[in-house]
Amino acid sequence: MSMIADALGVSSATVSNALSGKGRVSADLVDKIRKKADELGYVPSNAGRALRTGRSNVLGLVLPDISNPLFPQIAQAMETAASNAGYGVLIADSRGKVTTQTQAISRLIERGVDGLVVIPRRGTRIGDVGCPVAMVDTPSTPGNTVSADHWEGGAKVARHLVDLGHQNFLLIGHDPASNVQNDRIGGMKSALGRNTRHTTIWLETLMHERGERASLGLIDHVQNGVTAIAAVSDLHALRVLTELQTSGIKVPQQVSVTGFDDLIFSPVVTPSLTTVHMDMARIAELAIAALVREIEQGKSTVQNGKAAKQTVTADTSKVSMELMVRASSGPAASPDAPFPTGETL
């Protein structure tokens, strides 16, 4: 700034006002200052701005497991919404561990972020961390800011299968401690009706007992009359498809399979996967807007004489999910249909 000021014979304060759009500086001088700044390769100092304003214009984003293909998509949506609001984003990965999540939050706070978006591991609560927090989990989680309506999504996929004539269901979750997965399965069960049967298995429990690569035992469930398998994620649905096809069970002619999240591979696997789509752009927009509003207005509550930051509140707490009907779901097979011999496809 001093070099620009010296070159044009003005004060550094005038240069600062011209570049920030503040103060009384003529349009002609503003134009000259900005052209000179471009010539000299001037880049604003975020550190200097933070010292003046007390804000870094950077948000922290804590993801539960970045190896899951869902979360990079969420990160992209959050970064886009933050960028549109004039903020950068620092990303931290909890790597599936609550202790690592706590450490990630602390590191981001140390780096001076203005606020946090946290997608919590196992529905953990986020306490007072010294800055505003937007929590994105599921509507049943205390302190949730905004999220997809996972219960509604589960109900939609179950109604779809019931409408196709299915009466015997296998519901597959992964983590029984996950609020999101419990809401998805709860929504499925709520829409199944009285004249249906269902069994729920949790993969984390199953793998703990039998090992990571153990069979899910799907052929036994199909022999016992299951005609529809609904998983809480597309990743688990893909595992189901693989095991069924390896056992010679045709999808959807003999068993329908559905997933959740509409991941990038879902339309291109064979058969293409019926799933539930999450409007991540809308969720990110609402979460970032609520966070930025809290940061810029400086709202807080007072408890025991101290300002206490709470998770922020969005304009709406849940966003509807969309059922994506594809080739992996079809009419229920007749009870008299012959059972496959187990040949490998």
What does the angle CA 290 – CA 291 – CA 292 come to, to the nearest 5 degrees? 95
Q: What is the pLDDT of residue 302?
A: 40
List Cβ<8 Å contacts ≥24 apart for 216-223. Answer: 216/172, 216/240, 216/243, 218/170, 218/243, 218/244, 218/247, 218/249, 219/247, 219/249, 219/342, 221/170, 222/249, 222/254, 222/255, 222/339, 223/339
Ranges in the chain, pLDDT < 50: 51, 300-308, 341-345
Q: What is the pLDDT of residue 343?
A: 41
Q: What is the pLDDT of residue 160?
A: 98
Q: What is the pLDDT of residue 90?
A: 97
Q: What is the pLDDT of residue 16?
A: 83
The span from the CA of 120 to the CA of 143, in Å, is: 11
pLDDT tens digits, one per residue of 156-167: 999 999 999 999
Its pTM stands at 0.82
- The single residue listed with the structure tokens 């779901």 is 329
Q: What domains are there in the chain, each with its CATH number? A: 2-44 (1.10.260), 57-131+280-317 (3.40.50.2300), 150-278 (3.40.50.2300)
Burial class from Cβ neighbours inside 10 Å (0-12, 13-18, 19+) for residue 179 reads buried
Tokens standing for residue 94: 């909890």
Length of the chain: 345
